[in-house]
Amino acid sequence: MDIDGKIGAVMLMRSKDFLAWVDDWFGRVLKRGPIGRGLDVLLTDFWTWARVNSLYPLHFGIMCCALEMAAASAPRFDAQRLGVIYRSTPRQCDILLVNGPVSKKLKPDLRRLYDQMSEPKWVVAMGECAISGGPFWQSYSIVEGVDQFIPVDIYIPGCPVRPEAMLEGFMKLQDKIRKEKKGALTEEMV
């Protein structure tokens, strides 16, 4: 039983090639008939629930808002109860949480981190410095807002942002994710 002559070759594939092969095969099975479409309709709600309740931000703290971000993860505010678990590598994250003033020298590195994140991904601008440059907005070396070079999904104002405001921003992001239900077959299901 050889599907497209590739079963024997599966044993010799690297992991990324194997995942691409499985994705291609599974996509063809889903698109073939009503069973695949029905499965997609059933699983879309599950995938949406999973994405809403497992937010992995890349903590990119530059200045004082980074301290408030750490406080939001402490037992008093417990950001993990919302499914927010900080990761340290962009390939394991789906949220780029930027706080503090972004210098022009730092801009390409921040863009590279954003590009390294896999889809779906969101950007949260936390604090006045990330939103508009803050008190440094007239400086020759500061970018006047992260949205100048990265698309921002959620803005959390404050200087510094209180942990309660940060958690509210994550809840708004969860609402946004719920509204954009996505399935395997359709780009957007509403």
pLDDT, tens only, 105-132 = 988 999 999 988 888 889 999 888 888 8
99 within some domain = yes
50 within some domain = no
41 within some domain = no
- How confident is the model over 46-56, as pLDDT tens digits? 878 878 888 88
What is the average per-residue pLDDT within 64-72? 80
Both structure tokens of 173: 């992001």
Q: Which domain holds residue 116?
A: 56-179
Please give the mean pLDDT across all residues of the chain. 79
42 within some domain = no
Q: Are 116 and 91 in contact, with CB atoms under 8 Å apart?
A: yes
28 within some domain = no
188 within some domain = no
45 within some domain = no
Q: Tell whether the model's pLDDT for residue 3 goes beyond 70.
A: no
Rounded to an integer, what distance in angstroms lies between the CA atom of residue 65 and that of residue 129?
9
Non-local (6+) Cβ contacts of 170 within 8 A are: 55, 79, 82, 84, 124
Most confident of 13-17, 45-49, 172-176: 172-176
Reported confidence tier of residue 12, pLDDT bands at 50, 70, 90? low
Non-local (6+) Cβ contacts of 4 within 8 A are: none
What ranges in the chain are assigned the alpha helix state H? 7-10, 15-32, 34-52, 65-73, 107-116, 128-132, 163-179
- How confident is the model over 124-171, as pLDDT tens digits? 998 888 888 888 878 888 888 898 899 999 999 888 888 888 889 888
Structural domain count of the chain = 1
Partnered with residue 97 across adjacent β-strands are 59, 124
Is the pTM higher than 0.95? The answer reads no
Give residue 154's pLDDT.
92
49 within some domain = no
- Grouping H, G, I as helix, E, B as strand and the rest as coil, residue 101 is coil
Most confident of 13-27, 134-148, 172-186: 134-148
Write the CATH number for 151: 3.40.50.12280
